[in-house]
Structure 1
Amino acid sequence: MSEMPFPTPEQAVTRYLLERQAREHPDDLYMRFQDGSEWSFAEALDQAHRAAAALKKLGVQQGDHVFNWLPNGKAAVRAWLGTHMLGAVFVPANLAYRGSLLRHVLWLADAKVGLVHRDLLPRLAEVERFLLEKVIVVGGDAEPLDGLELHGEAMLEEAGTAGDLARPLAPWDNMTIIFTSGTTGPSKAVMCSYAHMWTFYHAAMPALIGREFRTLAHLPIFHSGGFGCLYGQLSNAGAVVLVESFKTDQFWQIVREHGVSTTTLIGAMIPFLMSAPPSDDDRNHSLISVSAVPYTADVKAFSARFGVGAFAAYSMTELANPVQSPLNPEKIGVAGRLRAGQHLRLVDEHDMEVPEGAVGEAILRCDQPWTMFTEYYKNPEATAETWRNGWLHTGDLLRRDADGDYFFVDRRKDAIRRRGENISAYEVEQEIRAFDGVREAAVIGVASDKTEDEVMACIMPSEGADIDLLALTGFLATRLPHYMVPRYFRLMPDLPRTPTQKIQKYALRDDGVTADTWDREAAGIRLRRERIG
């Protein structure tokens, strides 16, 4: 049985979607911001034309890449809509990037024009910027930066239109690049088509996205989960409430004030919300359902306490939500069942299927073309490796029970997930090795009391070196996003190795947090997200 028909350009392409919704539902609410201001579909189209005209003045043409380094807010939405009105590719980046990670994504972005918040500009001064030449600065005036032509935010609101396209846009055209975590190498750039994103959010998320819903988007726009909510509701003529970020102490207030009916809660969000003492107001809200990953006992308790439906899923940026549960599944840890039009096998290291009930790597393909990621941009080797034997290899280990329900077990790839962020162990290790006195480093994920992982670094010092872990923490804090700096550090005379001298990370994971491990949080060092704007 196949999934729903392949989308038409008018159904999937942002420019045509926005024009259609503004024509058919001009006065209906599309976007509500944290300050209470709103855009109807007609107003959003006007804002999109203005932003497109500004980008066009800076030389952006159809097919170009536009770099977006902005927090959630009106400017970021203008950047997205304006980029797509021109038929250009939207390239959002994590606000925590700095140093070598920032340099790497700028190389991948291939963008001559970008939109950057004023508070982030100093980080651009520290790295090679490759093609980036012109930047619209959001958030106020900025000091000149050698090699960059800076423009004020006001140009995004000047009257103008996108003009005609050089050619019509199609569902298989590239719409965005999402940077995902590296596994055994640097971060990759996932190239997504309009058809891919439409399938993910329009076709596969019926309990989250829809015309009848007002969806809270509190994940950052540089995440597929944040960007996808905005696009998914546009495709459904539904409304979005866009806020800067998830905050435990503000969540229910935002839900009540803005009439939120659906949202996504990932990682530690539900345990954080459950940590608040019970209240008579626990069910005094408009929230109907949430996407909750992973589907833990805490999720069931959350549903019971707050009267909110929850559903589970399995997906990744490269996929289109192939596995999904109904609302309120009974089984703890379930991801759901396979959607129509999707094909999933659980295989061993030779791509041979494992027996029923056994754990295997999930590999997928689907009936419709263009509804999974197109490629890893500028990385043909990784693209070929992921798509070997005609199947997309996820690197994730799942099992399937006799009822046909899938359960996520672990990651085969060398990645760590902390508070909803995927972390490349390789990238953290590279920065640790740059610190004086470090001979070797192995970064692993260890169990957290907040679900998902905490980051732990096992370090082998150079001969005679005395590593100051306080100094190392400070060093890493200037070179890595806050969420990638390890919480735990363990100094070891040597690291466990295979006969071929590869580090045995499984042995380090088995050891976990040992008596000789230093915990920076216990030492009073807590690193938090830097507020931009």
Structure 2
Amino acid sequence: MIRPSQSTPLPALVDTRAAATPDRMILSFEDEPLSCAQLRERVRAAGAGLRQRGIGRGDRIVIYMGNCREFAEAWLGAMYIGALPVPVNLAYRGEFLRHQLNDSGASLVVTDPGQLPAVQDVVGGCPGIETVAVAGEGELPDLAGAALMTTAKLFRGELEEEETMARWDEPGTILYTSGTTGLSKGVVLSHGYLATMARVICDAFEFSEEDVYYCVLPMFHVSGLTGVWNALISGAPSVIDRRFSVSAAWDRVRRYGATGTSLVGPMLQMLWNLPEDSRDAELPLRFIGVAPVPDGLDEAIKKRYGLDAIVSMYGMTEAFPVAITRVSDRLPAGVAGRANPTFDVRIVDEQGGDVAPGMAGEIICRPRTDHVMFEGYFRDEEKTAAAFRQGFFHTGDNGRFDADENISFVDRKKDTIRRRGENISSFELENAIRNHPGVADVAVHAVASELGEDDVKVVIAAEPGAQPTPQEMLRFFEAELPRFAVPRYIEFVEEIPKNPVGRVLKFKLRERGVTAETWDREAEGR
């Protein structure tokens, strides 16, 4: 394993791996392996192509595509030349996508044929976008407002052999996180933070070059990017699939002899719900990284699949991981892990005082050294300052310490919904739903899901004289909202409860939950 110091930019590991083991497989996409030398060649070609299009140090490029080789090339290639890649959630479209393209200040978008229509729909409202590059080599349609080219044409060229990379204390990438009281915010991650986070996660997985990591999480998330940096640090090849498949996942693990994988809780629940197979206990997996672990199933999951451990973590894009479990740890079921030694972690009451073990309070943290947490919110000093108090970042989440200083996540203070591993901003969802002509007022809140995490319920007060139906609203949601944010439950009311200053009383809506008047799209087979 290469143990990068905090001062080592991740792209530098591309060179290190190629020099040490040029012919060893490092990544595999769509069953096409890349050796260390091939990865370096492609990353440098991507960097050279971006530079030829005027992308330089500190400039942003948006990556809006599924897990694929070109994603890794664009992400690493941009960082290699000191630019900032901005991966964007594939489910974003319309105003959600337009906001991130404009807010990031990017001039170039890298996408794939499946996502190109969504880009075409919004690029006219994004004056900063000059170039759109599409993965592959095929014919391309016309695109008004920006130059259109293939990545095969863009990712070519040569860099000077001694490329000057960004420093460890400079920004490395920007990841947008869903807002709870406003629009999504760009979280700026330094090269130092990326290298430190990657090292901590690899240490928790206890990886060696003999391991194989299977990755199905989307690469526009921090958790999906682990497939790239785990390989660069540990030398263990990563097999990265485009998407998660319940029916194919274990066969893929067997095919490649994968010894570790990471999932979100609902994915593991879906796999657990499959009929038992005599081969389950013979899976090559040593561990599964997952959060949250389906309630009460820790030991049963380990026994059924022959695992050494379930590796749990807690954190967010701004600070990850705050709590972590190592493969060799033997911690009580239900805990997220112990505090990451990179951070000083506290759990406090509303006055900022430490709560006693066993008592719930807000999880807050501060870095023990520079550049191991996020640098701030992109171009938003006010929101950055508001996230910290007396040097501590306030997560907005409640948790508790036990007597052994293990950390458990309790709930979210923020009005965020967590569904299928995605954070959903009720604010953004409500703003989008208000665009329907039949909607006078709307409130969105969480309802507990039988798969763990949350389902989404929308409560609508219709415009006078309008009579929107659940089916009509569902068609609108499917056209305008990210797939993971499409509400499961719809209820129409005469008036949404509010306090005297006009704020929605969401606690009352949550207390009501699913009523006899609530329409359930899953019950309707939708």
Displacement of 1:233 after TM fit?
Answer: 2.3
Equivalent AA in structure 2 for residue 490 of structure 1: E
* Shift, 1:348, TM fit: 2.5
| Aligned counterparts, 1:34-433, within 5 A | 34-35=30-31, 37-127=32-122, 128-139=125-136, 140-156=138-154, 158=156, 160-161=158-159, 165=163, 168-208=165-205, 210-212=207-209, 213-295=211-293, 296-308=295-307, 309-327=309-327, 329=330, 331-433=332-434
Alignment CA distance shift 1:168-1:483 (3 Å): closer
The answer to whether the 8 A contact 2:398-2:409 is kept is yes
Structure 1 counterpart of 2:9, one-letter code: V
Q: 1:492 to 1:196 in 2, by over 3 A?
A: same
1:418-462 deviation per Cα after TM superposition (whole angstroms, max 9, x unaligned):
111111111111111111121211111101111111000011223
Residue 349 of structure 1, CA deviation: 2.9
CA offset at residue 336 of structure 1? 1.4
C-alpha contact (below 8 Å) 1:31/1:241 kept by paired residues: yes
Alpha-carbon distance change, 422 to 71 in structure 1, aligned in 2, over 3 angstroms: same
Query: Aligned with 2:285: secondary structure?
Result: coil
Equivalent in 3, 10, 15 of residue 14 of structure 1: 10
Aligned AA (1:32): S
Deviations 1:83-132 (CA, angstroms, capped at 9, x unpaired): 12212111111111111101111112211122111232222233212311
Look up the match of 1:459.
460
**What is the Cα deviation at residue 403 of structure 1?**
2.1
Change (3 A) 1:501 1:63: closer
TM-score w.r.t. length of structure 1: 0.93
- The answer to whether the Cα contact below 8 Å between 1:7 and 1:171 also exists between their aligned partners in 2 is no
Residue in structure 2 matched with residue 528 of structure 1 by the alignment: none
- The whole-number CA distance in structure 2 between the counterparts of 1:480 and 1:329 is 42
**Secondary structure, aligned partner of 2:228:** helix
Please tell me whether the aligned partners of residues 61 and 108 of structure 2 are also in contact (alpha carbons under 8 angstroms).
yes
Cα-to-partner distance string for 1:46-88 (whole Å, 9 max, x where unaligned): 1112212221221111221111111111111111122122121
* CA–CA distance in structure 2, aligned partners of residues 15 and 201 of structure 1: 12
Residue 350 of structure 1: how far off its partner (Å): 3.1
Structure 2: gaps of 5 or more residues: none
In the alignment, the residues of structure 2 paired with residue 32 and residue 479 of structure 1 have an alpha-carbon distance, to the nearest angstrom, of 34
**What SS does structure 2 have at the residue aligned with 1:283?**
helix
8 Å CA contact retained: 2:140, 2:149: no
Deviation for aligned residue 1:265: 1.6
Name the CA distance, whole Å, in 1 between partners of 2:191 and 2:257: 29
Residue ranges of structure 1 left out of the alignment (5+ in a row): 526-533
Amino acid of the structure 1 residue aligned with 2:134: V
What amino acid is the match of 1:323? Answer: A
CA RMSD of aligned residues (A): 1.9
What is the one-letter code of the residue matched to 2:68? G
Secondary structure of the corresponding residue to residue 76 of structure 1: helix
Aligned partners of 2:266, 2:462: CA distance in 1, in Å? 34
Maintained 8 Å contact 1:208/1:263? no
Q: What SS is found at the alignment partner of 2:281?
A: coil
C-alpha spacing 1:151/1:503, structure 2 compared with 1 (3 Å)? same
Partner secondary structure for residue 315 of structure 1: strand
The verdict on how the C-alpha distance between 1:352 and 1:464 changes in structure 2, with shifts beyond 3 A counting, is farther
Distance 1:283 1:16 in 2: 39
Distance 1:356 1:330, change over 3 A: closer
Cα distance in structure 1, aligned partners of 2:40 and 2:217: 23
Q: CA deviation at 1:330?
A: 5.1
Q: Aligned residues: percent identity?
A: 34
Verify the 8 A CA contact 1:221 1:227 in the aligned structure 2.
yes
Shift of 1:156: 4.6
Measure, in 2, the Cα distance between the counterparts of 1:329 and 1:470. 49
Match of 2:332, as an amino acid?
K
Is the contact made by 2:81 and 2:166 (CA closer than 8 Å) also made in structure 1? no
Distance 1:14 1:400, change over 3 A: closer
Which amino acid counterpart does residue 267 of structure 2 have in structure 1?
M
Q: Secondary structure at the match of 1:30?
A: strand
Question: For residues 342 and 179 of structure 2, what CA distance do their matches in structure 1 show?
Answer: 29
Q: Is the 8 A contact 1:33 1:73 kept in 2?
A: yes
Find the residue that maps to 2:344 and give its secondary structure.
Answer: strand
